Amino acid sequence: MAGHSKWANIQHRKGRQDKLRSKLFSKLAKEITVAAKMGDPDPEKNPRLRLAVKAAKAVSCPKDVIDRAIKKSQGGDAEDYTEIRYEGYGPNGIAVIVEAMTDNLNRTASNVRSYFTKYGGNLGTTGSVSFMFDRVGEITYPVSAGDADTVLMAALEAGADDVESDEEGHWIYCADTSLSEVSEALETALGESTESKLVWKPQNRTNVDLDTARTLMKLIDALEEDDDVQTVTGNFDIPEDVAAQL
């Protein structure tokens, strides 16, 4: 089993979720509203909404924010959002995928392009980098769920394809179409997971040096601070000695 991305660990240790907490809650609420509007407002009958609510609870999003977002989806004043994916290259050719949800495509495209340009990258066309990633389901468990072998066996029995474990926890991967079923089977075996979501998993990761890492972090920060951007994914890894200097 390969070790999980150091970048994910750095995000966790530095508390980046806390830094952007109010903005994060707003983005999660948007996803909840869209998911509820597209399907059933009952999370038990709507897999996408169930995942969105779980993601919100994972970062301690207040219950009233979640309830308001679901209620908003049933009203006539709910905004119409378009989901769109942007692909491009960051500094030193690092592949980056940006998922956005917007009510103004021109504004979002212009903003995303400007971030890439400012930090030494360039925005490409759809499909220009996504071939280097796999679209999969990712289910996260804390270290307390069990040792690596225990989690691996439970994951395989649940229908998962791969597990990555390290001192921070366990990340279980499955086919994107099987996320709901695998997640439910794992909850029976290991208890409730920390998070379940669809992700773009890099097929290979590139180690970055300190200068590249610093510029890349600025690009990612700019993207994540944009209200229209939901997720940012790159095919890079930050070596421990470089992470220590960040």
Indicate the DSSP class of residue 4: P
CATH of the domain at 17: 1.10.10.200
Per-residue pLDDT of 179-217, as tens digits, reads: 988 988 999 999 888 888 889 999 999 999 999 989 998
Name beta bridge partners: 146: none
Residues of the chain with pLDDT under 70: 1-20, 76-78
201 belongs to a structural domain: no
pLDDT computed for residue 1 by the predictor: 33
37 belongs to a structural domain: yes
Instruction: Report residue 149 as tokens.
Output: 């072998």
67 belongs to a structural domain: yes
52 belongs to a structural domain: yes
pLDDT computed for residue 44 by the predictor: 79
Q: How many domains, the chain?
A: 1
Name beta bridge partners: 139: 172, 196
Query: Measured on CA atoms in the order 182, 183, 186, 187, is the torsion positive or negative?
Result: negative
pLDDT computed for residue 17 by the predictor: 52
DSSP structure string for 133-194: EEEEEEEEE-GGG--HHHHHHHHHHHT--EEEEETTEEEEEEEGGGHHHHHHHHHHHH---S
Boundaries of domain holding 11: 6-73
64 belongs to a structural domain: yes
pLDDT computed for residue 48 by the predictor: 83
Residues 139 and 179: their CA atoms lie apart, in Å, by 8
208 belongs to a structural domain: no
- Which residues have CB under 8 Å from 158's CB, separation 6+? 172, 174, 182, 185, 186, 189
Per-residue pLDDT of 75-97, as tens digits, reads: 766 677 888 999 999 999 999 99
51 belongs to a structural domain: yes
pLDDT computed for residue 12 by the predictor: 46
pLDDT computed for residue 174 by the predictor: 95
32 belongs to a structural domain: yes
